[in-house]
Amino acid sequence: MANTKYVFVTGGVTSSLGKGIIAASLAKLLQERGYRVTIQKFDPYINIDPGTLNPYEHGECFVTDDGAETDLDLGHYERFLDVNTSQANNVTTGRVYQSVIDKERRGEFLGKTVQVVPHITNEIKERIQILGETGDYDVIITELGGTVGDIESLPYVESVRQLTWELGDNNSVVVHLTLIPYLAAAGELKTKPTQHSVKMMMQNGLNPDILVCRSEHFISEDIKRKLALFCNVKKEEVISSLDAETIYDVPNMMLHEGLDRVVMKKLALTSTKEPKLIEWNKFVEKHKNPLHKVKIGVIGKYVELQDAYKSIAEAFIHAGSSQRIKVKVEWIHSEDITKDNVARKLHGLGGIMVAPGFGNRGTEGKIETIRYARENNIPFMGICLGMQMAVIEFARNVLGLENANSTEMDENVKYPVINLMEDQKEVTDMGGTMRLGAWDCVLEKDSKAFHAYEKENISERHRHRYEFNSDYKAQIEAAGMKATGVNPKTGLVEVVEIPSHPWFVAVQYHPEYKSTVLNPHPLFKDFVNASLEYLESK
């Protein structure tokens, strides 16, 4: 294509309407039509990135291959498109202002007064177009976080207004996602919140080209005509988005509603390819028609908010569906588990996973969980902190290293089986000591991990600060826990297993980040299968 086209997805009335899923579904349909598509998220908060945000505040922090700590919506983008994202795909207000202030300090504005318009808006426009200027994509979809009318969103709305004008006709389109609530007392759907949202948007100089209307109830042709009239769009540009059984239904729903066709018409795009969604629909069919069921416990410290473990939840769906297994995840708070109740809390599970996390809270419950899984031969998978807890549990209860721990939990611990690397100890900035992004790993050929991946050399994404302390490696291995995956450059341990156990695998990295609809993660697949075999054997 001669020039990159831009789609902007905004939200109105309320948050959590599913802008990310609509953006990903539209991208999937355009991808099926043969276009090269990527999605980026612009978040209005002043944090530089979500890396230091509590998961209760913002859900999980998704990590890309290049080590960017990003919004969880980027996980949806990758899972839907099977295309990697990067640092450029997620921008926050904090990053924008930091860049502008750095430029001002270097004298790049030649003594001018630095203002929101034009300096902040110019920075936003530049970042919106970074991926478009690479020549790697035909269509860039940009999701604007927050809701139209929020004070913090105003610079983004203004930037999009300027950019749509600068790009000219047929080069950009604004999709506005809004809510059509149902009032039970009146027995009808109400369009007024959407009208107000569009009016507020137009007051800021930006006209929506397409309305995507979320609702729990069927949106009639009369309501579409009313919305078209009052919101200055054509009736075919009012798209209905009803509540779905699963997010994986949404691409088919948007195809049926014609969202991709309306966007292509607005962008003057022509494609002879119709979206078939063949592999996608095979996945959905398996997902909805499982032949087996298995219950897996996920033990973590943020289980009240399942968005904190969003990628893990989706990875179980991918892995289970690919094998026609329905995985019912039981979320269990690690603080609720003690030596006295662990058997009752974990009763009836086919497999046990100890989830990632930071800090001391809930770690003793995780250690008790791992001891129970190890002693009772229940399939176990540990991720990141879950792997570190597995090493600590083994050191305490098998090696007899009383109170062995990580220096994250106890700086003066006698047996620091998990520790900071020497070159990390002088770094004080949060995030500065982190091992982030894709790192290589070499697997031992007779290991469970190798059996799952079916290859020796893998690359996985990391997000952690503390490491397996190699000073204890020989001692731990002699007692029966093997380091079966190691980084070839640093020698850092990436995978530990207990060969005498039916399925006990713990990894320092985050395999959930790389699981997609069309490529379920092999480790999750093997774990789900082992959990089913365990249940059936019982």
Catalytic (active-site) positions: 384, 510, 512
Backbone φ and ψ for 5, nearest 5 degrees, come out as -100, 150
356 vs 374: CA distance, rounded Å: 19
Identify the CA nearest to 387 among candidates 432, 356, 428.
Answer: 356
Measured in whole angstroms, the distance separating CA 197 from the mean position of its chain's CA atoms is: 28
99 vs 122: CA distance, rounded Å: 11
Residues annotated within the binding site for ATP are: 16-21, 73, 244
- CB-based contacts of 143, cutoff 8 Å, min separation 6: 9, 19, 20, 23, 39, 40, 41, 42, 73
Q: Work out the end-to-end distance of the chain between its first and last CA atoms, rounded to an integer number of angstroms.
A: 58
Helical spans, DSSP H, in 168-243: 192-203, 221-231
Q: How many CB atoms lie within 10 A of CB 413?
A: 18
Structure-token pair, residue 92: 């926050």
532 vs 324: CA distance, rounded Å: 11
493 bridge partner residues: 486
Dihedral over alpha carbons 359, 361, 362, 368 (to 10 degrees):
80
Identify the CA nearest to 60 among candidates 304, 315, 318, 306.
Answer: 306
Helical spans, DSSP H, in 416-498: 448-453, 473-478
Residues annotated within the binding site are: 15-21, 56, 73, 143, 150-152, 190-195, 226, 244, 357, 385-388, 408, 465
Amino acid at 530: A
Amino acid at 312: I
Contact 95, 48 (CB under 8 A): yes
458 bridge partner residues: 441
Q: Which residues of 363-402 are buried (b: 16+ CB within 10 A; e: fewer)?
A: bbbbbbbbbbbbeeebbbbbbbbbbbbbbbbbbbbebebe
